[in-house]
Chains A and B, each alone.
Chain A
């Protein structure tokens, strides 16, 4: 199915099914580590750049140990990057306080905070994607439930993810049929677009309903159940403690500054 390949349906699912030590870790432990990571990234002051650098170790080590290809994560981060660009767009214009001089160039606080936003965005989004890729949506949602998240929310998240692909596939089929009958013209008029989106909504609702019926027909009652319930062991504990220690260390001690200080003999 070409459509499936186009929207990469299942690439994350496929990654989520790999069997590596990282995948075998308890979903809750991985979630906790990622949440701590995000909190650490966000807690840095607004102009921080060098202090964020060591944090890249986290996504890269996870990708390495989880056999997650860099491209799979990078492409999806790039896809969402425009949002971060818009968030930070006005910083260089609004905040012109010079904070740094590099030879002839003076860098304003706005630019620094802009780059800082991009870095934070890349770090947090890639961490979330890696979490999904090394756990799989189903175990992730089951883990959320076990963490005490109300089943309603966990199920919502699960459906949101499942139907995303359903709607994507539906949209592709509709666009294909429009293309086939639009006599070679590439442009679609606004009127056609509005009808298409309306139809897409109706069709997705229908389809979502059929999928839901298939689920309740097999006894789905709103609780997510998984076959192999993991019980956190010493590995999981070690994973969480190790990374937490790393985050705390990086937050309060900037290795780049320390290295610079050591090289120049200043303290």
Chain B
């Protein structure tokens, strides 16, 4: 079995309307790492994330998964291995019950019914939402929706979990639960977010994007503690690092 490493080589992307969104992005992400992808609005975070499972194809350079470039031919395999949790859970939950929504991925993988049910309950159990399995998704609260959206991805047991703004619209308790959940995952996590405190708590490494370019990359504390760098790219030094003791 190949190691699920993700490698981005000199990636450039230009939207069909001519807007250039990414230039010369290169980085390598090993299995099991938790990466924070930060940057101001319009820095290119979401655009970059969409390249990771082939929702967008690079105009230049390439994205390699386990050593093979993502192309139309390898798309199915890549999508099985890279799960994306979208920014708006309403986009992700489209079936009539939570169960059906979580079962959607495993069913598309062609798993037998018993295995599908086991995966669904396992994933819901993991995010603490098993009791909601028969509820229609649009009746859930924001935090529950987010947890179920994560479960829909866990059910396909990906090697890499990509999350776009996972803590947006969550109340403090929901956010805390999310952080604990993310810390507990053994898979690779790539988290695009403005929630820098979450990055400090969950990630080991951080990539700073500005204007479609990588402007800094390194260990979380080293980068985020650099006030000058943070301010220069529309960010700030997180509160949590200003104190000697965590609170």
List residues of A whose CB falls within 8 A of some B CB: 1, 4, 9-10, 13-14, 16-17, 136-138, 162, 207, 210-211, 213-221, 225-228
Chain B residue total in the interface (Cβ 8 A): 34
User: Which of these, A1, A9, A138, A217, contacts B95 with CB under 8 Å?
Assistant: A138
- If A214-B91, A217-B55 are given as contacts, then 18 extra A-B residue pairs at C-beta distance below 8 Å, sorted by A number, are A10-B96, A13-B96, A14-B136, A136-B96, A138-B96, A210-B88, A213-B86, A213-B91, A217-B83, A218-B83, A219-B80, A219-B109, A219-B156, A220-B108, A221-B76, A221-B108, A227-B100, A227-B113
A217 contacts B107, C-beta separation under 8 Å: no
B96 contacts A17, C-beta separation under 8 Å: yes
B107 contacts A213, C-beta separation under 8 Å: no
| Contact partners of B113 in chain A: CB under 8 A | 227-228
Which A-chain residue is minimally distant from B86 (CB atoms)?
A214
Q: Which of B103-117 contact A (CB under 8 A)?
A: 103-105, 107-110, 113, 116-117
Q: What distance in Å separates the Cβ of A166 from its nearest Cβ neighbour in chain B?
A: 9
User: Which of these, B94, B107, B139, contacts A227 with CB under 8 Å?
Assistant: B107
B91 contacts A1, C-beta separation under 8 Å: no
A29 to B76, CA, bound (A): 34
User: Which of these, A4, A216, A220, A225, contacts B138 with CB under 8 Å?
Assistant: A4
B92 contacts A219, C-beta separation under 8 Å: no
Q: What distance in Å separates the Cβ of A141 from its nearest Cβ neighbour in chain B?
A: 12
Q: At the interface, yes or no: B79 with Cβ under 8 Å from chain A? A: yes
| Contact partners of B139 in chain A: CB under 8 A | 1, 10
A138 contacts B105, C-beta separation under 8 Å: no
| Contact partners of B152 in chain A: CB under 8 A | 218
| Contact partners of A210 in chain B: CB under 8 A | 86, 88, 91
Q: Which of B169-213 contact A (CB under 8 A)?
A: none
User: Which of these, B100, B104, B110, B136, contacts A218 with CB under 8 Å?
Assistant: B104
Q: What distance in Å separates the Cβ of A86 from its nearest Cβ neighbour in chain B?
A: 33
Q: At the interface, yes or no: B71 with Cβ under 8 Å from chain A? A: no
| Contact partners of B53 in chain A: CB under 8 A | 217
| Contact partners of A228 in chain B: CB under 8 A | 113
| Contact partners of A138 in chain B: CB under 8 A | 95-96, 100
| CB contact under 8 A between A218 and B108, given known A10-B138, A13-B96, A17-B97 | yes
| Contact partners of A220 in chain B: CB under 8 A | 104, 108
A16 contacts B96, C-beta separation under 8 Å: yes
| Contact partners of A218 in chain B: CB under 8 A | 79, 83, 104-105, 108, 152-153, 156
Q: At the interface, yes or no: B84 with Cβ under 8 Å from chain A? A: yes
| Contact partners of A214 in chain B: CB under 8 A | 84, 86, 91-92, 94
| CB contact under 8 A between A219 and B100, given known A214-B91, A214-B94, A228-B113 | no
